[in-house]
Amino acid sequence: MPINYPDNIKSNNPNYPIIKASDTTVQGYAHVADITARNAFPANKRLEGNVIVVGQVAYIYGSSDLGDTAWQTASNWTSISAGLDGNTGPAGTGDTGPQGSTGNTGAVDVSYQSTAPTGASAGEVWFNSTSGLFFVYVNDGDSNQWVQIVGSPGPTGGAQVSSYTGQIEAPIVKEYTLDPYVASARTITGYYITSTAGTATAILKHTTSGGSTVTILSASVTNSSGVFSITNNLAVAAGSRLWLDVTAISTPENVSFSVSYTE
């Protein structure tokens, strides 16, 4: 439907207070294609405060001098395009969305073959099926190569302790051989011997590589004896004979013994 105004639409240009139906420009405002067209704007439509949009940039004229020289001077025009935009509204904050599903677990390519794989990428692992060793393909910035994966050495293990043990039910005076031929050199570390009844003397002996007899310790065996401290002649060479020489018996029974050593 048509809009009816109570009077003629008026302009703020004192030279043309009434906007005529035949005019193509509203007084005080114009839209032109370029600066050349703005400079050629009709003198009878110019006024201080004139707003002219050149392309998409709006300018306002700030001089009371409406002559051609002043009108065409760029410093008399101020861009007001930024002022035409409204203020930015506050940023909206929505609710936090649900957590996404967990991604796939990464995998390491491992090759199992007797020769190094070709066309490998950094980070790939190769198990040499011949040597039983692992390698990782490394790019050190200068070259690409397979590098053996070596773990840190474990702690040094302690010396293995072994022992000769046994029981003689009714000992008599004789030599009881513990080892007729010692396979490897060893060090005697402990001597334990006891009986359930009676007494005896049990001498721990071994031979040297030259065949000489060496006494390690002579122990008096009773039902209350036990551990004997050994301080001399502890080293037993490979090839030696090791034995208990039982003497001075008095009805001993169930003589139990243990001779410990390390190799």
Residues 131-144 have pLDDT tens digits of 889 999 998 888 88
How many Å apart are CA 95 and CA 117, to the nearest integer?
Answer: 51
3-class DSSP string for 45-105: HCCCCCEEEECCEEEEECCCCCCHHHHCCHHHEEECHHHHCCCCCCCCCCCCCCCCCCCCC
The answer to whether residue 69 is domain-embedded is yes
Overall average pLDDT of the 242-260 stretch: 92
Residue 233 has pLDDT above 90, yes or no: no
**pLDDT at res. 21:** 44
How many Å apart are CA 42 and CA 37, to the nearest integer?
Answer: 10
Supply the mean pLDDT for the chain.
Answer: 83
Q: Tell me, yes or no, whether 174 and 224 share the same domain.
A: yes
Q: Tell me, yes or no, whether 198 and 252 share the same domain.
A: yes
The answer to whether residue 95 is domain-embedded is no
Question: Which range (65-79, 92-106, 133-147) has the least confidence?
Answer: 92-106
Q: What percentage of the chain carries pLDDT values higher than 70?
A: 83
Q: What percentage of the chain carries pLDDT values higher than 90?
A: 40
Q: Tell me, yes or no, whether 67 and 136 share the same domain.
A: no
Q: Tell me, yes or no, whether 256 and 166 share the same domain.
A: yes
| Boundaries of domain holding 54 | 29-84
**If pLDDT is split at 50, 70 and 90, which confidence band does 211 have?**
confident
**pLDDT at res. 1:** 46
Q: Tell me, yes or no, whether 72 and 130 share the same domain.
A: no
Q: Tell me, yes or no, whether 206 and 255 share the same domain.
A: yes
The answer to whether residue 17 is domain-embedded is no
Question: Which range (60-69, 203-212, 219-228) has the least confidence?
Answer: 203-212
**pLDDT at res. 152:** 60
The answer to whether residue 212 is domain-embedded is yes
Overall average pLDDT of the 137-152 stretch: 83
**pLDDT at res. 12:** 57
Give the domain CATH number at 227. 2.60.120.510
Overall average pLDDT of the 25-46 stretch: 84
**pLDDT at res. 86:** 56
Q: Tell me, yes or no, whether 177 and 257 share the same domain.
A: yes
Nearest 5°: the CA angle 206, 164, 181 is 45
DSSP state of 10: B
Overall average pLDDT of the 157-174 stretch: 87
How many Å apart are CA 127 and CA 133, to the nearest integer?
Answer: 6
Q: Which amino acid is at 199?
A: T
Q: Tell me, yes or no, whether 66 and 115 share the same domain.
A: no
The total number of structural domains in the chain stands at 3
Residue 37 has pLDDT above 60, yes or no: yes
Q: Tell me, yes or no, whether 54 and 132 share the same domain.
A: no
**pLDDT at res. 222:** 94
The answer to whether residue 130 is domain-embedded is yes
Q: Tell me, yes or no, whether 221 and 256 share the same domain.
A: yes
The answer to whether residue 4 is domain-embedded is no
Q: Tell me, yes or no, whether 69 and 114 share the same domain.
A: no
Q: Tell me, yes or no, whether 45 and 79 share the same domain.
A: yes
pTM assigned to the model = 0.42
Residue 192 has pLDDT above 60, yes or no: yes
**pLDDT at res. 22:** 47
**pLDDT at res. 176:** 93
The answer to whether residue 91 is domain-embedded is no
Residue 156 has pLDDT above 80, yes or no: no
